[in-house]
Structure 1
Amino acid sequence: MFTGLSAFPLTPMDEHKIDEAGFVRLVTRLVEAGVDSIGALGSTGSYAYLSRAERAKVAQLAVQNAGKIPVMVSIAALRTRDVLEYAEDAQKAGVNGVLLAPMSYQQLKDEEVYDLYKTVTANLSVPLCVYDNPGTTNFHFSDALHGRIAQLPNVRSIKIPGVPASVTQARARVDQLRALIPSYVTIGVSGDSSAATGLNAGCEAWYSVIGGLFPRTALELSRAARGGDSAEAIRLSERLQPLWSLFAECGGSLRVVAAAAELQGLVNRACLPAPLKSASGVIREKLALVIKELELA
């Protein structure tokens, strides 16, 4: 399940409850498009803003509506105790894998992060994907630490940040990490604007934000790269440059994707947990045009 397009949907909500119908609509779109896996409760899924009961419910809804498509959910939390509880809930829901970022309020040290993964993997019966997301966690993995963690039981993938824009440099980055981890541990790229470069450079998976809302668009790019047509993958990514520019203009993808889901009527308006707000004003107007002109689907 840690290869191809892993689509990460929003978890739409208001201040009182999760928009369960909206979430199911998003998952259904992914199933109908035929994504390779579903990554519920990722950063796009706002896991850090949800209670244990809410996270358990989202995991259940994802599994119940995913059909034969494998489901991975995030189990990250500030305390190892809570991570283990979320892991237990996810496994009870029937997920096929879990995603774990070293989430913390106090900046973590390497040994603390290693011990987190050692403790969690020892208590899992499903595979785990390591989530390397320094922009959110403020923790920077070294390749050496990735190599140590990749040896732990049940570790099967590493979700790395965006790769360098140069294919040569991106391949060097992927090869450097590949040399330190077992062959059965895949490397997946995140940061949608660098997905084509990452896949062309040897990443086996794309952990995708736009895949969670526009799965057919993301699948076209993913399949081109995975099929060896690197030039077509780059062309498709360059075609999406107006969307990548909006991500940059808005300080990240979450607010833009939330606004896109609202514009398409897939979720209720104001679908992010306060104080977060979906993109508005000029960015929202630009986004509506981009969705139409690029025929995102």
Structure 2
Amino acid sequence: MTLLTGLSAFPITPADAEGRVDPGALRVLLARLVGSGVDSIGLLGSTGTYAYLSRAERRRALETALDATAGRVPLLVGVGALRTDEAVRLAQDAKGMGAAAGLLAPVSYTPLTDDEVFEHFATVARESGLPLCIYDNPGTTHFRFGPDLVGRLARVPGIVAVKSPAPEPEGVAAHLAALRAAVPEGFPLGYSGDWHAAEALIAGGDAWYSVVAGLFPEAGLAILRAVRAGDAAEARRLDARMRPLWDLFRAFSSLRVVYACADLMGLCHAAPPRPILPLPEAARQRVAGALRALDLS
């Protein structure tokens, strides 16, 4: 599916302390992405705190984004939920409202087996009709997709791509090769984890699902364009330049850091949903220093 290649930008979803989405603040963030050249917008991903929002607020966020983008940038929308029937309803909402595709993670309290995850995905795909991207995010779901399971799911009608966490640079080629051997030809293999994404793209990854691009699309696009031009040295130079931000992402989580960035830049003053707390002042000052050093503020 061509929309699930290239750069997908994942913004936060500004909301108040009661979990009500702020459409005006969301529009401000989306305005930075519309027309930037990103290939898609990843709405309500982990950075978009989908797991903390009610069905009604997810609909409000999607309605706002569809209006703000006006069809100019495809929307990939998080539809993960604890229950399969709830995920089906969320995917049906996204399909009916006009999202291009859904991003589905195997969210669970009880650890899931491969067969349970397969049935969950197959049911959501079948009953919603929404094209789905497999969301492999073991850091939050505590479930890891192996190549065999990805290969099984890649043959389910309506499951059209996979988003994996980018391995360490020395392991990305092997990871890609294992997935390529398991999935049908042309099935897009994309990566998240901004600090390793450049190497994943250089190795042949089809997509970068990017947190940093949700605020700074130009920085992500510059790396992607260098890779597409065959200039791995330039892509690595641009990636190395972003190292102060990557280090902060790894130290404090990209979610907390991008909330601090948005606040420091005056784009919106939302806090992450509780129990997640904003960064303490010393860490905020480190973020501010990185923004100044990178000339991103």
Q: TM-score range by the shorter chain?
A: over 0.9
Structure 1 partner of 2:232: 230
- State how far apart, in whole Å, the 1-side matches of 2:31 and 2:211 are: 16
> 1:184 Cα shift?
2.8
Check the 8 A contact 1:2/1:157 in 2, yes or no.
yes
- State how far apart, in whole Å, the 1-side matches of 2:21 and 2:101 are: 22
Structure 1 partner of 2:163: 159
> 1:226 Cα shift?
2.4
Alignment of 1:14-53 (within 5 A): 14-16=16-18, 17-53=20-56
Structure 2 partner of 1:293: 293
Check the 8 A contact 2:6/2:39 in 1, yes or no.
yes
Structure 2 partner of 1:120: 124
Structure 2 partner of 1:75: 79
TM-score, normalised via structure 1 length: 0.96
Structure 2 partner of 1:54: 57
Alignment of 1:235-274 (within 5 A): 235-250=237-252, 252-268=253-269, 270-274=270-274
Give the letter aligned to residue 260 of structure 1. Answer: C
Check the 8 A contact 2:51/2:81 in 1, yes or no.
yes
SS in 1 for 2:184: coil
> 1:54 Cα shift?
0.2
- State how far apart, in whole Å, the 2-side matches of 1:7 and 1:229 are: 22
> 1:32 Cα shift?
3.2
SS in 1 for 2:57: helix
SS in 2 for 1:33: coil
Say if 2:99 is the partner of 1:89: no
Check the 8 A contact 1:155/1:185 in 2, yes or no.
no
Say if 2:183 is the partner of 1:181: yes
TM-score, normalised via structure 2 length: 0.96
CA offsets per residue over residues 129-164 of structure 1, 9 Å max, x none?
000000000001111011101110111110001222
> 1:283 Cα shift?
1.4
Say if 2:99 is the partner of 1:98: no
CA offsets per residue over residues 34-70 of structure 1, 9 Å max, x none?
2110000000000000001000111111111113110
- State how far apart, in whole Å, the 1-side matches of 2:267 and 2:160 are: 33
CA offsets per residue over residues 241-295 of structure 1, 9 Å max, x none?
1111111221x21000110001111112x42111212223221101111111112
- State how far apart, in whole Å, the 2-side matches of 1:152 and 1:227 are: 34
Uncovered stretches (5+) of structure 1, i.e. residues with no partner: none
Q: Among all aligned residue pairs of Structure 1 and Structure 2, give the percentage whose two residues are the same amino acid.
A: 46
SS in 1 for 2:76: strand
- State how far apart, in whole Å, the 2-side matches of 1:278 and 1:216 are: 26
- State how far apart, in whole Å, the 2-side matches of 1:94 and 1:57 are: 13
Uncovered stretches (5+) of structure 2, i.e. residues with no partner: none
Once superposed, what is the RMSD of the aligned Cα atoms?
1.2
- State how far apart, in whole Å, the 1-side matches of 2:125 and 2:251 are: 38
> 1:197 Cα shift?
0.4
